[in-house]
Amino acid sequence: MRGKEKDEEMKSKRASSIEHRVAALGQKIKKEKIEAFLIKGTENVSYLSHYWIEGEVLLSSRDKFFITTSLFAEEAKSRLNGWQIVIQKDSLEKTISEICKKLRGKRVGFEASHFSFAEYERLRKIREVEWVPFSGLIENQRAIKDGGELTCIEEALKVTRAAFAYLENELETGVTEKDISRKAVYFLRENADEEAFPPIVLFGERTSLPHGKPSQKKLEKGELVLLDLGARVGGYCSDLTRTIFLAGIKEKWRQIHHLIVKAQEEVIKKLKPGISCSDIDKMIREKIKEAGYGKNFIHGSGHGVGLAVHELPSITSRSKDILKAGMVLTLEPGIYLEGEGGVRVEEMIVVSEEGGRVLNG
């Protein structure tokens, strides 16, 4: 589905933005008056280094250190041009201690949300360093997508939409949820880098389980089918949900589907930079409540998508996030009737100065 030229284009666009990302984080480090920043979160490491290689990043005002084990040393050296590759031969804290002896200052930031308490206690034993905890420093930066990132996401979306078309033709009486899940995984791996997450495939009354796992449940005539799929291309994810109606479906479900799509479309028209994500959630929720299904909408209205399937911004009632141009998010309203079934429709949207635009891939 993807040609070599498209792959090279995505690789080039993403590589060209790495230097900008590192420079932007470097400015934040300088502003916080710390000498360096230790990064461990898998997506954050990938965001700054361009590759999904197991390791940690220590970014100082002068140098970029990539810390990894001998298992990944050869790959790191061949791919990470301009980085100092440090092979961890002992504990992580001893390796970091040796690097920190070369730093000018002693104040080093670290990702508090990605280190366990035990790991932090070990880091504190490094006498050369005064550790300064930070949360969300890179996650907030990741929330704004550049052109290269958007290209990868759109390619992932293209594969996901093709997967829905393929799987719809595979739906027949007697097929199981696991059968369709296996076919989904095969299709996504053949046409993208891999699946972004384990596919959610649910039939009949099991569609009332928002994140139910595929089972041996067999598809019967007139049942609902819920498919939640995502592909990963160049490290970036897509995330779409469709509810499919087979012949003989009850009219009630069609009406619920119409209600969800209408609410979703109306809110998408109102998306723009500066609007609070809690207000977005409130708008969708109120439209569903007005139709009498308020208590049946039991999860958040959406989330950001990028290197992680779920990232900033968070579209929930408690969210403090504000929409900004360049953000990519999903809106996924759903109505679930316990023991009967559920309907969810999820679209991906990019925010620009002009408003929100549904990404078609």
For residue 130, pLDDT over 80 is answered with yes
Please state, as a whole number, how many other Cβ atoms lie within 10 Å of the Cβ of residue 286. Answer: 12
Percent of all residues in the chain with a pLDDT value above 70, rounded to a whole number: 95
- Shared-domain flag, residues 328 and 194: yes
DSSP classification of residue 322: B
Compute the distance between CA of residue 200 and CA of residue 332 in angstroms, rounded to an integer.
14
Q: What angle do CA 269, 196, 263 make, to 5 degrees?
A: 20
Q: How confident is the model at residue 13 (pLDDT cuts 50, 70, 90)?
A: low
Structure confidence by residue, pLDDT tens digits, 32-44? 999 999 999 999 9
Residue with the larger pLDDT of the pair 310 and 14? 310
- Select from 113, 142, 171 the last residue of a domain: 142
Per-residue pLDDT, averaged over 162-187, amounts to 98
Average pLDDT over residues 287-294: 98
Residues 231 and 215 in one domain: yes
Domain CATH for 103: 3.40.350.10
Give me the chain's average pLDDT, please.
94
CA dist list (Å): 139 to 25, 83, 136:
11, 22, 5
What span, in angstroms and rounded, lies between the C-alpha atoms of 43 and 339?
37
Q: Are residues 156 and 68 in the same domain?
A: no
pLDDT tens digits, residue range 86-118?
999 888 899 999 998 888 778 999 999 999 999
At residue 221, the pLDDT reads 94
Last residue of a domain, one of 101, 121, 142: 142
Distances (CA, A) of 190 to 116, 162, 187, 269, 317: 36, 12, 5, 35, 38
Q: Are residues 283 and 238 in the same domain?
A: yes
pLDDT of residue 18: 85
- Residue 286, pLDDT score: 98
Residue predicted with more confidence, 17 or 207? 207
Cα(334)–Cα(343) distance, rounded to whole angstroms? 6
230 & 156 share domain: yes
Q: Which of 142, 166, 199 is the endpoint of a domain?
A: 142
Answer yes or no: do 220 and 312 share one domain.
yes
What's the pLDDT tens digit per position in 225-248? 999 999 999 999 999 999 999 989
Confidence of residue 9 (pLDDT cuts 50, 70, 90): low
Q: Based on the domain organization, do 159 and 247 belong to the same domain?
A: yes
DSSP label at 226? E
Q: Are strands 224-229 and 200-203 parallel, antiparallel or unpaired?
A: antiparallel
Structural domain harbouring 342: 147-358
Alpha carbon of 123 to those of 18, 40, 208, 272: distances in Å?
A: 28, 13, 45, 42
pLDDT of residue 16: 61
Look at residue 5 and tell me whether its pLDDT is greater than 80. Answer: no
Given a cut of 80, whether residue 311 has pLDDT beyond it is yes
The more confident residue out of 171 and 127 is 171
pLDDT at 128: 81
C-beta separation of 231 from 239 below 8 A? no
Give 252's contacts (C-beta < 8 A, 6+ positions apart): none
Mean pLDDT of the 10-17 span = 60
Cβ 82 vs Cβ 65: under 8 Å: no
Average pLDDT over residues 160-181: 98
Do 88 and 170 lie in a common domain? no
331 with 209, same domain: the answer is yes
Looking at the structure, tell me whether residues 341 and 228 fall in a common domain: yes
Q: Is 70 exceeded by the pLDDT of residue 12?
A: no
In angstroms, what CA-CA distances link 156 with 44, 51, 195, 218?
20, 17, 9, 29
pLDDT bucket at 61, cuts 50 / 70 / 90: confident
313: preceding bond cis by omega (within 30 degrees)? yes
State yes or no: pLDDT of 220 exceeds 90.
Answer: yes
